Amino acid sequence: MARPRPPEFDKKKVVAENRRARFEYFLEEFFEAGIALTGTEVKSLRFGEGSIAEAYADVKDGQASLINANIPEFSHGNRFNHEPKRARKLLLHEREIEKIHKGLSREGMTLIPMSVYFNSRGRAKVELALAKGKKLHDKRETMKDRDWKRDQQRLMRDRG
């Protein structure tokens, strides 16, 4: 039996997506968090710049933060421009932070950002997933399933 799909968040404009994460990890639980940003960071994101490919999130002292996310400096910014790879505070409820902290304390679990987007109200949000890393044989199985589904679609299209 397949796992039930998690509810989708209200994504208006997706800025950055971590597409590789679905291949590298088993995704277990999803969270939506706000990000504490400076003005030039918001402007860079609105221009569609930013990368979360090598980013991860961590919980320390009851605070969640996004680490290693790259939001390049704003092109028209002045001396008050931001640092591109600084740690950014994530805005979550205490209950969610506790839930994430308990999840991260389990063996092999990590918190990865799946996408950065603006919601319908224009707020910058990040979709986080509590995930467990895949072993090499799991990745091979994923590739095999993906190839088979592609072949299935091709067969169905050709037949009729």
pLDDT value of position 139: 86
Average pLDDT of the chain, as a whole number: 88
pLDDT value of position 111: 93
Given a cut of 70, whether residue 113 has pLDDT beyond it is: yes
pLDDT value of position 106: 87
Pairing of strands 88-91, 124-133: unpaired
pLDDT value of position 8: 72
Distance CA 37, CA 53 (A): 19
* pTM of the predicted model as reported, rounded to 2 decimal places: 0.80
Return the exposure string of 55-83: e unless at least 16 CB atoms fall within 10 Å of the residue's CB, then b.
bbbbbeeeebbbeebebbebeeeeeebbe
Q: Which residue has the tokens 């390049």?
A: 72
pLDDT value of position 154: 92
pLDDT value of position 1: 58
Identify which has the larger pLDDT, 113 or 82.
Answer: 113
Distance CA 6, CA 41 (A): 29
- Could you report the per-residue pLDDT of 116-154, keeping only the tens digit for each? 999 988 899 999 999 998 888 888 988 899 999 999 999
Q: Which residue has the tokens 């091979």?
A: 140
Give which of 100, 110, 102 is closest to 134, Cα–Cα: 110
Identify which has the larger pLDDT, 82 or 102.
Answer: 102
Average of per-residue pLDDT across 69-93 = 87
Given a cut of 70, whether residue 74 has pLDDT beyond it is: yes
